[in-house]
């Protein structure tokens, strides 16, 4: 094992130390902001440096991978042995670099974004804690260790969504995220139980090694396990039907949205499926379900993003949609493709969120200066921001080109890679053509709504009030710096996995080979003629250009009215603005019946009636009634006692003799 791989524990421990230090500061001396910035950012930069060293070590000697580093025995119960162990292999290496790298940049950005917040140390403590759990999630060598990270990031997500907890809306959003994730985590747990029952182990290496013998292809057990895993992944990665928490999660600070709810945590579901690739490959039905969930989510969320006014909500639905692409990718067996899109998405979506954060930051400051109470996140209050924020304007366009799929940028290659495999699978079963078509339509919508976001935010006349415009300014370098780095990533990350018709293709695919090869024999080889591949790329390019051009032609930013003066939406626009009323439908179908059931059946009938009434008060009442009847025996008359005594003696004597 290369020496530097042995340092991997530092990547886990460093953010945790940061959490402890910042947590202590937030309790003892919350005004010590420079110390917090130093520690909070410092541990992340150090962790990133170690992570790079670990991956460099891994790339030198890949023969021994996966390297499982066992530190201590966590629990031993009967046949169940779980070690506190980390696993370094090609897949966790990719995730490690993305998580620590993007986290470090977002920590730097946060120094600027959160500088005036009274909860500054608490914010960095939670952010450090999040990175600790996220690193644990991607490095865990078994399902339970991964689950610890999985639950931990959920906790941090909750803490950071409700960071400004004095507003009930934010606290509610945090609660919603927590509950929706619990529904998914239930699936994860069931999957773990079933896996242990079938293979007798929960360590990745052992489970995946035992899988070919333990399961029958397309058998009931493996299908059940993968369904349960999908449910866990759908909760964490905001897929239909559990996606509704993610848009609400935008209640948190914008860098949190960028880090947790776009770049890292929400991709955990994709990572889970890619990690368990052999399980999903052995359950083709589940794989089709994964792909279908992904494609439907990609399309559905994209339609909602078309009509949102809140800049962060557009990006949130865009994230749901892009996660759908990743699920489509891992569902059609393009595990490397799904991870590739995860990587490129981490760059351009983090960039988009941080860019929007930069805009919100500027607008918020302007409103603060003039004591206005307008919504700093509503695009109708923006417009013409390119004059005030040239850097943000430029990098946001880069990210928009990337996500829309303009050739040459990272998003084009990663999205095209997934769609190409989906199309190629059409040979096996025509349903994949349908999924491919849904992906293409979603790509069209993506190009449209992203261009809409850019037009309404940066172009046209400024709809921000006259007085406020004087206060609008570009964000400080500590915020624009990370944006520029992410923009470079958004442009160049595509070279990681070029299509086969270009020179040096499929580097990431090759790199991930040791992890994904387990599943190869269960999938047919993807075969795509070069001409078809060129054709698909041409289609993708045409779609992207059409979407963007359509937005430019159809939308008139100069006619838009500020939020206060804007007319109410009607017809289909209102349905889209109201997000297809999914929240309302869930409320009517699930939340209210549950509340009704809890209130009337469980509380009023069962708790108050059966438990309190029949059992608690009932037992007291019974004791009293027996006492009341029994006390009649105690007449106080000696003769009566004696009579009982004599009769008793006679009965006893009769019994003895």
Query: Which residues are at the interface with other proteins (CB under 8 A)?
Result: 630-639, 642-643, 646
- What does the DSSP assignment read for 272-318? HHHHTHHHHHT-HHHHHHHHHHHHHHHHHHHHHHTT--BHHHHHHHH
- Toward other proteins, which CB reaches closer, 542 or 643? 643
CB 597, min distance to other proteins, A: 47
CB 593, min distance to other proteins, A: 53
CB 631, min distance to other proteins, A: 3
- Toward other proteins, which CB reaches closer, 3 or 631? 631
Cβ contact 276:361 at 8 Å: no
Q: Distance (Å, rounded) from C-alpha 419 to C-alpha 125?
A: 40
Cβ contact 462:405 at 8 Å: no
Q: Distance (Å, rounded) from C-alpha 653 to C-alpha 657?
A: 6
CB 657, min distance to other proteins, A: 15
Q: Are strands 80-88 and 67-77 parallel, antiparallel or unpaired?
A: antiparallel
CB 632, min distance to other proteins, A: 7
CB 647, min distance to other proteins, A: 10
Here the tokens at position 373 are 């109470």
- Toward other proteins, which CB reaches closer, 79 or 630? 630
- Toward other proteins, which CB reaches closer, 615 or 643? 643
Query: Which ranges of 162-219 would DSSP assign to H, the alpha helix?
Result: 168-199, 204-214
CB 655, min distance to other proteins, A: 19
CB 643, min distance to other proteins, A: 6
Residues 6+ apart with CB under 8 A from 103: 44, 47, 48, 127, 131, 134, 259, 264
Exposed e or buried b per residue across 4-23, where buried means at least 16 C-beta atoms within 10 angstroms of its C-beta: bbeebebbbebbbbbbebbb
- Toward other proteins, which CB reaches closer, 3 or 634? 634
Query: Which ranges of 555-614 would DSSP assign to H, the alpha helix?
Result: 571-577, 582-586, 592-596
CB 630, min distance to other proteins, A: 8
Q: Distance (Å, rounded) from C-alpha 363 to C-alpha 381?
A: 9
Q: Distance (Å, rounded) from C-alpha 121 to C-alpha 22?
A: 6
Cβ contact 521:387 at 8 Å: no
Q: State the DSSP H helix or E strand holding residue 76, giving kind and residue range, or none if neither.
A: strand 67-77
- Toward other proteins, which CB reaches closer, 638 or 656? 638
- Toward other proteins, which CB reaches closer, 503 or 630? 630
Here the tokens at position 645 are 């005594």
Q: How far is CA 225 from CA 81, 82, 115, 200, in A?
A: 20, 20, 46, 14
Residues 6+ apart with CB under 8 A from 595: none
CB 627, min distance to other proteins, A: 9
Distance of CA 542 to the CA centre of its chain: 31
CB 644, min distance to other proteins, A: 10
């Amino acid at each position: 094992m290369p020496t530097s791989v042995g340092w991997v524990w530092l990547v886990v421990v460093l953010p945790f130390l940061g959490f402890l230090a910042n947590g202590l500061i937030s309790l003892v001396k919350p005004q010590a902001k420079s110390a917090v910035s130093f520690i909070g950012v410092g541990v992340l930069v150090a962790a990133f440096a170690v992570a790079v060293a670990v991956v460099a070590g891994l790339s030198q000697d890949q023969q021994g991978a996966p390297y499982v580093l066992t530190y201590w025995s966590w629990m031993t119960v009967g046949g169940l042995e779980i070690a506190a162990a980390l696993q370094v292999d090609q897949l966790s290496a990719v995730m490690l670099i993305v998580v620590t790298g993007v986290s470090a940049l977002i920590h730097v950005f946060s120094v600027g974004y959160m500088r005036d917040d009274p909860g500054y140390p608490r914010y960095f403590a939670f952010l450090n804690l999040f990175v600790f759990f996220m690193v644990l999630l991607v490095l865990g060598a078994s399902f339970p260790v991964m689950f610890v990270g999985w639950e931990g990031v959920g906790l941090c997500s909750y803490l950071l969504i409700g960071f400004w907890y004095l507003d009930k809306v934010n606290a509610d959003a945090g609660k919603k995220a927590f509950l929706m994730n619990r529904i998914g985590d239930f699936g994860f747990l069931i999957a773990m139980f079933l896996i242990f029952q079938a293979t007798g182990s929960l360590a990745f290496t052992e489970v995946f090694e035992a899988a070919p013998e333990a399961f029958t292809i397309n058998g009931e057990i493996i299908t059940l396990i993968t369904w349960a895993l999908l449910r866990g992944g759908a909760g964490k990665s905001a897929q239909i039907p559990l996606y509704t928490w993610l848009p609400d999660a935008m209640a948190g600070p914008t860098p949190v949205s960028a880090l947790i709810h776009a770049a890292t945590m929400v991709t955990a579901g994709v990572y889970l499926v890619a990690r368990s690739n052999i399980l999903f490959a052995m359950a083709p039905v589940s794989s089709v379900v994964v792909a279908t969930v992904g494609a439907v989510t990609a399309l559905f969320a994209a339609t909602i993003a078309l009509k949102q006014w809140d800049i962060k909500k557009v990006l949130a639905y865009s994230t749901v949609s892009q996660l759908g692409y990743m699920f489509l990718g891992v569902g059609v067996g393009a595990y490397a493709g799904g991870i590739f899109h995860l990587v490129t998405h981490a760059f351009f979506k983090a960039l988009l969120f941080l860019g929007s954060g930069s805009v919100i930051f500027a607008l918020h400051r302007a409103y603060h200066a003039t004591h206005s109470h307008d919504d700093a996140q509503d695009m109708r209050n923006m417009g013409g921001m390119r004059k005030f924020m040239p850097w943000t304007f430029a990098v946001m366009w880069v990210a928009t080109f990337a996500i829309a799929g303009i050739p040459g940028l990272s998003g084009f290659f990663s999205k095209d890679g997934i769609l190409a495999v989906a199309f190629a699978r059409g040979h096996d079963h025509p349903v994949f053509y349908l999924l491919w078509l849904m992906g293409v339509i979603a790509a069209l919508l993506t190009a449209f709504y992203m261009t809409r976001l850019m037009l309404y935010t940066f172009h046209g006349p400024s709809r921000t009030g006259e007085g406020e415009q004087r206060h609008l300014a570009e964000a400080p370098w500590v915020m624009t710096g990370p944006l520029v780095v992410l923009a470079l990533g958004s442009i160049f990350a595509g070279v990681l996995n070029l299509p086969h018709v270009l020179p040096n293709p499929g580097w990431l695919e090759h790199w991930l080979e040791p992890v994904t090869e387990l599943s190869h024999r269960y999938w047919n080889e993807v075969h795509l003629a070069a001409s078809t591949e060129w054709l698909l790329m041409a289609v993708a390019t045409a779609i992207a250009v059409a979407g963007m051009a359509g937005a430019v032609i159809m939308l008139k930013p100069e006619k838009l009215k500020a939020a206060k003066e804007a007319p109410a939406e009607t017809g289909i626009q209102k349905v889209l603005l109201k997000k297809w009323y999914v929240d309302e439908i869930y409320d009517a179908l699930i939340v209210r019946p549950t509340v009704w059931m809890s209130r009337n059946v469980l509380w009023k009938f069962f708790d108050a009636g059966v438990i309190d009434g029949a059992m608690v008060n009932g037992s007291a009442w019974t004791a009293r009634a027996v006492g009341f009847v029994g006390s009649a025996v105690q007449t106080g008359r000696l003769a009566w006692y004696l009579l009982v005594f004599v009769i008793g003696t006679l009965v006893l004597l009769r019994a003895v003799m």
